[in-house]
Amino acid sequence: MTPKTAVVLAAGLGTRMGRKPKGLIRVAGREILYRTLHLLQKNGVEKFVIVTNEQYAPLYREFVERHGFNAELVINPEPEKGNGHSLHLAREHVSGRFVLVMSDHVYGEEFVAEAVKGNGLIADRRPRWADVGEATKVKVKDGRVEDIGKFLREWDAVDTGFFVLDEGIFEVTAELEGERNGDYSLSEVVERAKLPVTFVDGLPWTDVDTPSDVKKARKMLVKSAPKGIGDGFISRHLNRKISTEISYLLVEKVTPNQMTAVTFAVGILSAVLTLINLPLAGVLYQLSSILDGVDGELARAQLRTSKLGGYIDSILDRYVDGTFLALLAYSTLREPLWYLVALVALLGSVMVSYSTERFKGAFCRDAYREVPGLRKLPGKRDERIFLTMLFLLYPTEISVKALFVLLALLTNFRVGATLYLVVRKVSQPKTI
């Protein structure tokens, strides 16, 4: 059962960050703490307990009120003491199972979704983004913490700063309170409690201790933002490599909606250029395809995804594709038969997206998740645009006609294959 309460340790003075509260540092357009609370809330947590110091309490209080989180603040009057003491101060504000997180850790959406299902210390055996040299390591024996510390020579995993605990942990903190006069680390609590360990491996998370860590966290969020499962071959191997670099540069400056507008403008401009310069039109069309991934990457990195945004983006893509093919046909074709071929290509291009979007509308499921065979079919938008660019780099009458024939065959084959795979899937009992 998912815990309903989360404790956030935010009493540190942030000396390596210019004495700023690290939880309120913005990464990819959002405060670290906003990102953590939002993702926990999305996964069933209803109440938050933020342990902070007297100096930063007004800032955290204003943050909570501004964003409307159900949170209460607990003041640690001795923030110079270890963070185990901060945990102990939360003991009267939680009951049952609860999540414990650090305010200076940035977690990806997939990581949080898995971590809340765990028990005890959440550890990562394959950390991709954290600085292992600076991270706290964990030695595990029989599924529990045997040893923990930054300088372990032999270790099994890295501490992610994410825990799923119960009230029993406060018996351990009470013992350490008496023995250490309140000055002890969370690692000491973990070691004495011999917490169970749950492995969540390879998913995005990192901690932010220095300004350079902010850049690393931003890159992590952008690089893990592509949706992936619905991408075509060109997006996976070319477009995303470029679009994520663009997103990294823009994620603190541009909103997803602004990027959608820019991408649409570039796409329409590429269509108009078919009347003037076909090679340039093809290159610009491919550029619009690359940029088309940026708004979604920004939305996911900035936690600004919305059904409306995806809806608008999908409609504008259809306008760009339709305008490009219509003006290309107008500027290059002369015989009525070839206008018919172009019409079939245009119709097929629209139907490729419609066939999967209509599946989502009918069954409220993502077509690419429910029907994995769709991922292997050629003819997705990124692939068609790349082919179009190639055929227009050295345009001749034959190459343009060949392009329309290829698009007509490719798109309508894909639509037919999609229909076949969906019917076969739906015909199987209890699949949708």
The tens digit of pLDDT for each residue in 163-176 reads 999 999 999 999 99
Contacts of 82 (CB under 8 A, 6+ apart): 180, 183, 184, 185, 186, 188
The tens digit of pLDDT for each residue in 333-342 reads 999 999 999 9
* Residue 247, token pair as written in the block: 């997103």
Q: Residues 374-403: what's their mean pLDDT?
A: 95
Residue 358 lies in a domain: yes
Same domain, 229 and 214: no
Last-in-domain residue among 167, 186, 218: 218
What rounded mean pLDDT belongs to the chain? 93
Last-in-domain residue among 187, 218, 249: 218
Same domain, 58 and 19: yes
Residue 394 lies in a domain: yes
DSSP 8-state class, residue 136:
P
Q: Is residue 15 over pLDDT 80?
A: no
Same domain, 132 and 207: yes
Same domain, 103 and 41: yes
Position 20 scores a pLDDT of: 82
What proportion of the chain, given as a percentage, has pLDDT over 70? 97
Rounded Cα distance, 25 and 8, in Å: 15
Position 1 scores a pLDDT of: 75
- Angle CA 240–420–236, to nearest 5: 10
Last-in-domain residue among 218, 240, 265: 218
Residue 26 lies in a domain: yes
The tens digit of pLDDT for each residue in 270-298 reads 999 999 999 999 999 999 999 999 999 99
Are residues 411 and 349 in contact, defined by beta-carbon separation less than 8 angstroms? yes
Note down the domain range covering 51: 5-218
Q: Among the listed ranges 92-96, 180-184, 227-231, 324-328, which one has the minimum average pLDDT value?
A: 227-231
**Per-residue confidence at 133, pLDDT binned at 50, 70, 90?**
confident
Same domain, 415 and 296: yes
Position 17 scores a pLDDT of: 64
Q: Residues 396-408: what's their mean pLDDT?
A: 96
Q: Is residue 357 over pLDDT 90?
A: no
Same domain, 204 and 272: no
Same domain, 92 and 178: yes
Q: Residues 242-261: what's their mean pLDDT?
A: 96
Most distant CA pair in the chain, distance: 92
Q: Residues 373-384: what's their mean pLDDT?
A: 93
**Per-residue confidence at 196, pLDDT binned at 50, 70, 90?**
very high
Contacts of 201 (CB under 8 A, 6+ apart): 124, 125, 126
Same domain, 310 and 177: no
CATH of the domain at 242: 1.20.120.1760
Are residues 75 and 11 in contact, defined by beta-carbon separation less than 8 angstroms? no
pTM: 0.89
Residue 432 lies in a domain: no
What proportion of the chain, given as a percentage, has pLDDT over 90? 82
CATH of the domain at 166: 3.90.550.10
In angstroms, the first-to-last Cα distance of the chain is 25
Rounded Cα distance, 110 and 155, in Å: 25
State how many domains the chain has: 2
Position 228 scores a pLDDT of: 65
Rounded Cα distance, 312 and 317, in Å: 9
Q: Residues 287-315: what's their mean pLDDT?
A: 93
Tokens 């209803």 correspond to 46
Position 115 scores a pLDDT of: 97
Residue 135 lies in a domain: yes
Residue predicted with more confidence, 431 or 3: 3
* Residue 2, token pair as written in the block: 């998912």
**Per-residue confidence at 14, pLDDT binned at 50, 70, 90?**
low
Same domain, 196 and 275: no
Residue predicted with more confidence, 229 or 88: 88
Position 360 scores a pLDDT of: 84
Position 361 scores a pLDDT of: 83
Rounded Cα distance, 125 and 156, in Å: 6
Same domain, 68 and 201: yes
Residue 359 lies in a domain: yes
Q: Among the listed ranges 7-11, 108-112, 224-228, which one has the minimum average pLDDT value?
A: 224-228
Same domain, 156 and 276: no
Same domain, 38 and 187: yes
Residue 188 lies in a domain: yes
Q: Residues 124-147: what's their mean pLDDT?
A: 93
Residue 157 lies in a domain: yes
